[in-house]
Amino acid sequence: MERLKVVFMGTPEFAVPSLKALYEKGYEIPLVVTQPDRPAGRGKKLKPPPVKAVAEKLKIPVYQPERIKGNEEFRKLIEGISPDLIVVTAYGKILPEWFLDLPRFGAINVHASLLPEYRGASPIQSALLDGKKETGVTIMKISPELDAGDILSQEKVPILPEDNAQTLHDKLSKIGARLLIETIPLYVSGKLKPVPQDHSRATYCKPIRKEMGRVDWNFPAEHIFNMVRAFTPWPSAYAEFKGKRVKITKALPVSGSGRPGEVLETKRGLIVATGKEALKLEKLKPEGRKEISGEEFVRGYRVNVGDRFE
């Protein structure tokens, strides 16, 4: 088969395995398009996106437009390259129609859900938040509508009770890269026919915001357990204890009842009442401190039965 010319678009860590897989498979990658460097950390120094850092190591030219719509410089650049295929993995912006129509094989996307479920920006967190038992990866053709293109391939992945957003992210990013490499040859050779999505079954997820991590103890233990998993490592599920903010990074639903937020037990671990049943807080991260176990938190913060998490 001829050597395909592929323009790659992606920004976060999730996109890195797909870029590496394309490079290792020998595809010609004349350009990587990623978002601009952004301020990060306490010093607010500009930090390159993970995809840029990897592309530079692989000596692939990088372009970082602030916007694509109406960007004539970008249009001339892509038209000059004349790619056979565009591969997009978590780039983070809607792409114009001229761009999708330019390559002879169009543009394809690696998406971290079993489409048409969880179209949008937070499919991994949303699946955990909803207590799903499985999720997966979809390779699809990109259409002008958000995550609505025809499906080329899918792979299901079980969600384990111990999974959180980080562990699931890492699994799905690797599976997505492998599935992408398996799918491209079948797609460009015409052996694989795109299957339209059933739009009546589509569900959507919104971007995750920091305030979504605040724990309301009136919810059932199962819901808060799912919050902890969905929001680890960011933005973290958090509550107040004795006026200090505490992140909850690992928890387990257990039996018990009491006033929501009330500490029920400290001897066999830190157990807190919720709106239905209770939650054992296994790992916590007090403000400005490192992560500690529930037992260490009980000792260090002199937690007593009857104390409350707000």
What is the DSSP secondary-structure string of 132-186?
A: -SEEEEEEEE--SSTT-SPEEEEEEEEPPTT--HHHHHHHHHHHHHHHHHHHHHH
Q: Which two tokens stand for residue 67?
A: 């916007």
Does domain 5-205 match CATH 3.40.50.300? Answer: no
What pLDDT sits at residue 1?
Answer: 53
Q: C-alpha distances in angstroms, 120 versus 53, 128, 229?
A: 25, 15, 19
If you average pLDDT over residues 153-166, what whole number do you get?
97
Which DSSP helix (H) or strand (E) runs through 244? Answer: strand 244-254
Where are the domains positioned within the chain?
A: 5-205, 210-300
What is 210-300's CATH topology? Answer: Methionyl-tRNA Fmet Formyltransferase; Chain A, domain 2 (3.10.25)
Provide the 8-state DSSP code for 205.
E
What pLDDT sits at residue 40?
Answer: 82
If you average pLDDT over residues 5-13, what whole number do you get?
97
Q: How far apart are CA 305 and CA 33, in angstroms?
A: 55
What pLDDT sits at residue 113?
Answer: 98
Is the pLDDT score of 41 beyond 80? no
If you average pLDDT over residues 77-85, what whole number do you get?
96
pTM across the whole model: 0.94
